[in-house]
Amino acid sequence: MPMGSVKDLEIIKKPTKARMGVGRFHFSDRYSVFDWGEMPDHMEGKGAALCLMGAYCFERLEEKGVKTHYRGLVNKSGRAVRFDELEEPTNVMEFNLVNVYKPKAYVEGGKLKYDYSVFTPKLTNYLIPLEIIYRNGLPEGSSVFKRLEAGLVTLEELGLDHYPKAGERLAKPTFDVSTKLEQSDRYVSWKEAQQIAGLTDNELTEVKSVLLKVDETITELASKAGLVNEDGKIELAFDPQRRLMVADVVGTLDECRFTYQGLHVSKEIARIYYRRTEWAREVEEAKRKAKEEGVEDWKGLVKTEPPKLEPILKLLISQMYMATTNEIAGKKIFNVPRLAECVKEYQKYMV
């Protein structure tokens, strides 16, 4: 079973050039930050919480006419069922599987580059090689600030008419896009995104329209849990008829950045903890060096191992994942305190 940093893929039926296959995601209790891959400890209940939150989100999207690759949750007898038919938590989701074509890496003038020529407007049944991002707010830690400072993006490209402050809510969402299948994700302009993914003008417009619908749906669901949907990412694929569908998983604490009364409730809590470590500084330096020297494996340049999370913080994050799923779904699936309680405990921990 191919392993990701957070979920494992089981292939039930392989896709062909013209037909979708069937896959299952086994969501694990592993977590990853800064593109590192598996971190040294696990968070109990996180896998099932992500799986259920993602499924609930997919089902709400489909009710709104948004096509997705979701087929159902796998129950204890191995059958794919709807969210409401599930009798106990599961960490396995079934979905329609498309082809994943990776761009070819090559070095030119000492710089690492990628050949995307496989992606054309005629190709069907494949994962679009982009991460598509919406932003409703710019909480502290948002990559936007770093990119603006470094001159890597302009206010105009972000759809902003003024220089933003940390914690600012935006009058309307801004959309952003990055690569998905390179060694390290990099932000690109919409023009470059369209070229590398082989999208027509109409398809690019449709991509943004699907992103907006997903954003609105997640915002609505998050508000049931008292959460503010700050930003998030989606992945898209084309089916065999080259119709867009939402792929991977959406609306979870790993894909989105949520805040509760101004405090982060997402994987961002782990990121905040790690940003203060020597290991995170080495990671940043290694990514920079690899980019400059055309090295594909930047992880090989990191000499320090990531430290473990403090046990109390690990417990709090794990409870937050489960509590958020309970509140968004409107029923007690996991036996954990309410989200408000978890946040209160986190505030005490931070003091």
pLDDT classification of 224: cutoffs 50, 70, 90: confident
Domain of 132 in residue numbering reads as 7-350
Query: Per residue in 170-219, pLDDT tens?
Result: 988 999 999 999 877 889 999 999 999 999 999 999 999 999 999 999 99
* pLDDT for the residue 218: 97
- Specify if 2 maps to a domain: no
Residue 153 lies in a domain: yes
Q: What is the mean pLDDT of the chain?
A: 92
Q: Residue 327's pLDDT is what?
A: 95
> Residue 12 maps to which CATH number?
3.30.470.20
Closest CA to 54 of 321, 338, 331, 342: 321
pLDDT tens-place string over residues 270-325 = 988 999 999 999 999 999 888 888 777 889 899 999 999 999 999 999 999 999 99
Residue 1 within a domain: no
The answer, as to whether pTM is greater than 0.85, is yes
Looking at the structure of the chain, the number of domains it has is 1
pLDDT at 153: 86
Note the pLDDT of residue 325.
96
Tell whether 257 is covered by a domain: yes
Do the domain assignments include residue 107? yes
